[in-house]
Amino acid sequence: MPTTIHPTAIVEPGAQLGVDCEIMAYAVVTKHCVLGDRVVVHPFAVVGGDPQYLKFDRAMESGVRIGSGTVLREHVTINRSILPGKATVIGENCFFMAATHAAHDCEVGHQVVFANAALLAGHVSVGDHTFFGGGAAVHQFCRIGEGVMVAGHSSITRDVPHFTMVADRDDVIGFNIVGLKRRGLPRAAITELKAAYHDVYFTPGNIRDVAAARLAANVFTTVEAKRFLAFFAGGKRSFARARRATEGVAE
């Protein structure tokens, strides 16, 4: 199907649209955008609008890149970068439900789902296959790992490691076992992830140091467990903490 633009939609000169894009009624797409193939922008969404940053120079050239197959529902807002020549980046086959928001300089991976009114502040990074419940909000500069399940109405102000579930205010409540199984991860990987989670969160000491020691010791052999441990070496913020009651075995 060729790209179609509804007569009431506004696509500014300079915006780039991939093949098979469908721009629906009253959507606004600015010249600062690159939309991949099969992207759908629903009515009243604004893609590539100026960032909510008081010192921003509107004459500066920056943008937004949306990966192929991503769907943006009504009232979604995705702001362009505050940095010259940079872009807010959304991956492929993502689904932004109504009234969700990605602020300037966010980097969102592939196949990420945002339920209604989920919000990302500036400079947030999100890994592939992550899900945000309705009304969840993430503080600026946080990292949300791959395969994370963020509960509805959560308030996230710290980094959340790969493959976990997080709720309320930065409470890690276990592993996203259901999500891992749906993706077909082998049993060995899930078993090692549970063990790595328990080691990191329930061993006394600095969480970065514990994770680094386990990684250096080659205790775990699966790629997934090693990636989980490596997550703690990065970032500038502290880490979401586990609720001791779960002991990392939530199914």
In the block, residue with structure tokens 């090692």: 192
How would DSSP label each residue in 93-114? T-EE-TT-EE-TT-EE-SS-EE
* Summary mean pLDDT of the chain: 93
Point out the catalytic residue in the list 63, 69, 91, 105.
105
Point out the catalytic residue in the list 101, 104, 110, 129.
104
Contact call for residues 102 and 80 (beta carbons, < 8 A): no
Catalytic (active site) residue 135: no
Catalytic (active site) residue 105: yes
The pLDDT of residue 244 is 63
The pLDDT of residue 250 is 37
| Phi then psi dihedrals of residue 89, to 5 deg | -120, 125
Contact call for residues 66 and 37 (beta carbons, < 8 A): no
CA distance 115 to 99: 9
The pLDDT of residue 17 is 87
Catalytic (active site) residue 67: no
Q: What DSSP element (H or E) covers 220?
A: none
Q: What DSSP element (H or E) covers 189?
A: helix 187-202
Point out the catalytic residue in the list 48, 49, 67, 122.
122
The pLDDT of residue 246 is 42
Which residues does the chain have with pLDDT short of 50?
245-251
pTM above 0.85, yes or no: yes
Instruction: For residue 12, count other CB atoms closer than 10 A to its CB.
Output: 12
Q: What DSSP element (H or E) covers 48?
A: strand 46-49
